[in-house]
Amino acid sequence: MSENSSIEWTDATWNPVRGCTKVSPGCKHCYAETFAERFRGTPGHPFEQGFDLRIVPDKLEEPLRWKKPRKIFVNSMSDLFQDGVPDDFIGDVVDVMLTACQHTYQVLTKRSERMRDMLNSTLCRGAKASHIWWGVSSEDRKYGLPRIAHLQQADVAVRFVSIDPLLEDLGGLDLSGIHWVIVGGESGAKARPFDLDWGRRVILEARRQKVACFVKQLGRRPVENGLPLRLASSKGGDWDEWPGDIRLREFPRVQADVAGRRRNVEVEG
Ligand code: SF4
């Protein structure tokens, strides 16, 4: 577990699964792959096997030992619902999250159909817990929008969508049943452009549909009025450089009852 994550919308990361395979354009410049492959062949390193899929049972119980409540991004270096991760192991991950309920978990996937199907059946014990937020990545219309629909079909307490990197205008987003949206542009040397108006459209829809919205970063190639927007920050992460109308970093405020089940979700500015 990494106690201090540099990811703006979380506090820590927990990776009981390592490695992944690419499924859509949002994966093209996967930071996890770039990082993992740097250590392929390094004896004893967690990523000795590069970005190959590995189940890591030794990591399962880490959140149980971490007493201070944290927001934890589950599998920041992988995708819990990819083929090759056994149903039983995913169940074990859910059981740890249910036991170490002092934390808030952010589970993000691009394998939205498997997540939906499991949450509506064998994983239903974790679906309604307010401290487990279930999310999908949605980078474009073709691959991303169907994932949002799959998430909306999952009978869960808290849903979120990560629109990062946003690769095109998503149009009039249907955010019904969604509690939190993250949006941002791509970072890294080969980053694709991020038109700020695409982001503004997401913010507008979130506002209109009363969904908490978190602008993560403008990325390496932000575009404003058709022209590159020059920023000192290489990943566009310095809020002070942003146009005022997109400075927005909200979290959903989830109220739980004593059983840990969601009863109300509001926007926290
Ligand atoms: S699903 Fe996520 S972790 Fe897996 S390759 Fe794509 S971006 Fe990387």
Ligand 1 center to residue 30 CA distance, Å? 6
**Alpha-carbon distances of 228 from 174, 212, 225, rounded to whole Å:** 29, 28, 8
Ligand 1 center to residue 197 CA distance, Å? 26
35 lines ligand 1 (CB under 6 A): no
Kindly state the average pLDDT of the residues 23-45: 97
The Cα 183–Cα 198 span in angstroms is 10
Token code pair at residue 41: 């062949």
> Is pLDDT at 261 greater than 60 in this prediction?
no
Reduced DSSP (H G I as helix, E B as strand, rest coil) percent helix, strand, coil of the chain, to 5 = 30, 25, 50
The Cα 237–Cα 167 span in angstroms is 17
Strand ranges, E, within 116-184: 132-137, 158-163, 180-183
pLDDT value of position 264: 47
Kindly state the average pLDDT of the residues 100-129: 98
Ligand 1 center to residue 260 CA distance, Å? 30
> Is pLDDT at 180 greater than 70 in this prediction?
yes
Ligand 1 center to residue 26 CA distance, Å? 8
Pocket test for ligand 1, best of 33, 143, 164 (most atoms within 8 A of CB): 33
> Is pLDDT at 265 greater than 80 in this prediction?
no
Atom of ligand 1 nearest to the CA of 111: 1
> Is pLDDT at 263 greater than 50 in this prediction?
no
> Is pLDDT at 90 greater than 80 in this prediction?
yes
Return the closest-CA partner of residue 217 out of 233, 230, 203: 233
Least confident window among 33-37, 108-112, 191-195, 256-260: 256-260
Ligand 1 center to residue 93 CA distance, Å? 19
> Is pLDDT at 194 greater than 60 in this prediction?
yes
Return the closest-CA partner of residue 58 out of 92, 85, 88, 91: 92
Kindly state the average pLDDT of the residues 40-57: 97
Ligand 1 center to residue 17 CA distance, Å? 12
Kindly state the average pLDDT of the residues 51-75: 97
Judge whether 268 and 256 are in contact, CB under 8 Å: no
Atom of ligand 1 nearest to the CA of 22: 5
pLDDT in tens, 138-178: 999 999 999 999 999 999 999 999 999 999 999 999 999 99
Judge whether 201 and 171 are in contact, CB under 8 Å: yes
79 lines ligand 1 (CB under 6 A): yes
The Cα 34–Cα 51 span in angstroms is 8
pLDDT value of position 4: 64
Judge whether 140 and 168 are in contact, CB under 8 Å: yes
Report CA 36 to chain centroid distance, whole Å. Answer: 19
The residues facing 137 across adjacent strands are 162
pLDDT in tens, 7-22: 999 999 999 999 999 9
